Amino acid sequence: FAVSGGKLDALLECQSKTEGKGTITIAGTVGSQGSDVKVEIDTVNPASPMGNSTIGMQMVSKRTGDCPAAAAK
């Protein structure tokens, strides 16, 4: 994967003789104040009664501040 100038691009691939192939693509922007990232997951498994699948999502995050200090014990 690559992260440069706040831009994230990643491709992950998995292959199994019994479980088929999975591909995960991640792309978006990341920074100290938040992120906006799209994730797509594609699976191909001829042996599965469910068949192939595609799942997509977008995650947007925003920094809300520092965590409070832990209480002394």
Q: Are 2 and 28 in contact (CB under 8 A)?
A: no
Q: Summarize the confidence of residues 51-66 as an average pLDDT.
A: 94
Question: What is the spatial distance between Cα 5 and Cα 18, in angstroms, rounded to a whole number?
Answer: 39
Flag whether pLDDT at 13 surpasses 90: yes
Of the chain, the end-to-end C-alpha distance in Å amounts to: 42
| pTM, to two decimals | 0.76
pLDDT above 90 covers a percentage of the chain that reads: 70
Flag whether pLDDT at 1 surpasses 80: no
